[in-house]
Structure 1
Amino acid sequence: MPIRTNADGLSFEALVSEQGAVSQLPSLQRFEARDGTALAYRHYPSESPTALIVLHGSGTDSKYLATFAQALADAGVAMVYTPDVRGHGPSPQRRGDIDYIAQLEDDLADFIYHIKTENSVVSQVVVGGHSSGGGLAVRFAGGEYGHLASAYLLLAPYLGHDAPTVRNNSGGWAEPSVAKIIALSLLNKLGVTSLNGLTVLRFNLPPEYRNGSETLAYSYRLMTGFNPSNYRDELRSINVPSLFLSGAEDEALFADRFEPTVRPHIPDAEIVIVPGTSHLGLLVSEEGIEVVRHWLKGL
């Protein structure tokens, strides 16, 4: 099947079943968040005492992470967990929306507690994410629960619309309602949050990749909670091992700008660019997976 891109060049080859992800897909399991909601995740078992959580990017769910997660589990460097972020997946309680901006951080903290409770051999938890999932991991690092992670794995992380690493509209993937976002941001600063359920962001997923489980629009509170609040401050809060991995041919981000953007805030970060690799292709890149495997083994 030929690689399909949207009008602005974002490639979706890693979402195609030919990549082998579907055949490796574990069944969805569920854990209970603090508000009583049952949230879904996939588990890739391993003998390793390291638990790696990988958060998916915007508009989709945990399925496309299967090849990446299975490869690391098979290598014995981590048991891997890929949750469906609240508001996403085959049957979310409310697609494209959450109850309050900090809810995704609370969910992730609850998930870490669930993993440790269910598996007593876990010695360390690595929090990771791809694209917006990486942005959520960065936000988590700078929040009240950041200490729960022993390390951070940031895969082409979205650091926010004002970060120098981000291309215009993420390479054509995202369509923000800028005026509405600005207005809601001002209202939130005044303490007015009653309009945070309004839709402010849409995504350009080609029709042939849609199966009903995609999430093509976000409310203001979901968009805000899925991104870093202030990437500079949140990066500075990371004082544990961290790996930033991106593809040289990333259509949504500027891979060569991670070094000057991240290094001033995390001097000891490992920052690696994988040659010939796209934004989504990073998750099925053998070279990229090998970099992560080696890094996890060294923790």
Structure 2
Amino acid sequence: MQTVFLTVIYFVVIPVVIQLSIAALLIMFGKRKPRNSDNNSLNFDELYTVDYTCLPPRQSCKARDGKEITYRHYPASADTVLILLHGSGWHSQYLLPLAKSISDDGLATVYTPDLRGHGMTPERRGDVDYIEQLEDDLADFITQIQARHPNAKLILGGHSSGGGLAIRFAGSRYADQIDAYLLLSPFLKYNAPTMRSNSGGWANAHTARIIGLSMLNMLGIHRFDHLTAIEFNMPASARDGTETLSYSHRLNTAYAPRHYKKDLAAIKQPVLVAVGECDDAFIAQQFESVMSPYTSVKVALLPEVSHMGIVVDSEVQLVVKDWLQTLK
């Protein structure tokens, strides 16, 4: 009996202790020094030319925990609804040009939510309560939107990390609610072939810490998921007090595909991926070869369009409108 007990300790307990020790070291010493140079980040200039005075007012609805989900609504007389998700670091304001053009042309009613942890006055900026919370929030939001538009076709779209969240949602238990996906320069994974180094200078990931926290998560330990996992190098000229410059581990994990290959393989609905050939965060030419083995996808490469330009460029609006018309 004693021999069996010692064997269990050797093969089970000791490896777990070693894993915990390694994870602790990675978490404690895995924080990178943030970069402060505006010259090594994404180009936000195209967003400054947008007239935001015509933004729809913010509205809100309740998530399952009673907290508010804020959003903007672009109405249209259409039997299609598009929910469009913003990317990392900011909120739904910058989606105005694309959302307004789609609704003005009567192609779809558009909703642009501010994801939890983001927006004007979030409860905890840069954080969520648990890793699956953005999916649950989105499912709650969709349920309320469907009640308003009971017979409408529902498209889930997103830019950058918002596209990554849409892909994550496609691999979730809620995916059967979606009829099509619109992915604008979507984030797949930090080491996917589509990635430029550090997302073109935008992201300062604390990689060792993320590895350590992920190790704890695999052991069922989430006690330290509130720790900062990534920081963003947003130019000072783009900051107005509503930006979100860092994410906890749980928000950073929640905002990306769970496993992008498996999540993509779960998509049976039509998919449009639009990427600018001058994308400064991702490598546009890699998207089709990376994504097409797992799902049927139409990839539109737009010349002279940047990562931020993909949501404001007039050529993008034409590509998206043409695709929406094919879904009718």
Q: Does TM, scored on the shorter chain, surpass 0.5?
A: yes
Q: Indicate whether 1:256 and 2:285 are aligned.
A: yes
Give how far 1:29 is off. 0.4
Give how far 1:85 is off. 0.5
Give, in whole Å, the separation in 2 of the partners of 1:24 and 1:283.
17
Q: Partner of 1:275 in structure 2? A: 303
Contact kept, 8 Å, 2:41 with 2:235, in 1: the verdict is: no
Deviations 1:188-217 (A, max 9, x none): 011110100001110011112111110001
Q: Partner of 2:229 in structure 1? A: 200
Give how far 1:9 is off. 4.9
5+ unaligned residues in a row in structure 2: which ranges?
1-36
Select 2:216's aligned residue among 158, 175, 187.
187
Q: Partner of 1:292 in structure 2? A: 320
Q: Partner of 2:102 in structure 1? A: 72
Aligned AA (1:287) = E
Q: Partner of 1:117 in structure 2? A: 147
Q: Partner of 2:190 in structure 1? A: 161
TM-score by length of 2: 0.87
Aligned AA (2:131) = I
Give, in whole Å, the separation in 2 of the partners of 1:168 and 1:160.
12
Give how far 1:175 is off. 0.4
Give, in whole Å, the separation in 2 of the partners of 1:136 and 1:183.
23
Aligned CA RMSD, in angstroms, stands at 1.1
Q: Partner of 2:18 in structure 1? A: none
Give, in whole Å, the separation in 2 of the partners of 1:9 and 1:212.
18
Select 1:60's aligned residue among 90, 93, 114.
90
TM-score by length of 1: 0.95
Q: Partner of 2:176 in structure 1? A: 147
Give how far 1:24 is off. 2.4
5+ unaligned residues in a row in structure 1: which ranges?
none
Contact kept, 8 Å, 1:57 with 1:132, in 2: the verdict is: yes
Q: Partner of 1:13 in structure 2? A: 45
Give, in whole Å, the separation in 1 of the partners of 2:114 and 2:273.
22
Q: Indicate whether 1:32 and 2:62 are aligned.
A: yes
Aligned AA (1:219) = S
SS of residue in 2 equivalent to 1:107: helix
Give, in whole Å, the separation in 1 of the partners of 2:137 and 2:166.
12
SS of residue in 2 equivalent to 1:19: coil
Contact kept, 8 Å, 2:38 with 2:236, in 1: the verdict is: no
Give how far 1:117 is off. 1.4
Extract structure 1 runs of 4+ deviating beyond 3 A.
Answer: none
Give, in whole Å, the separation in 2 of the partners of 1:40 and 1:49.
23
Contact kept, 8 Å, 1:24 with 1:67, in 2: the verdict is: no
Aligned AA (2:326) = G
Aligned AA (1:237) = A
Aligned AA (2:319) = V
- The total of aligned residue pairs comes to 291
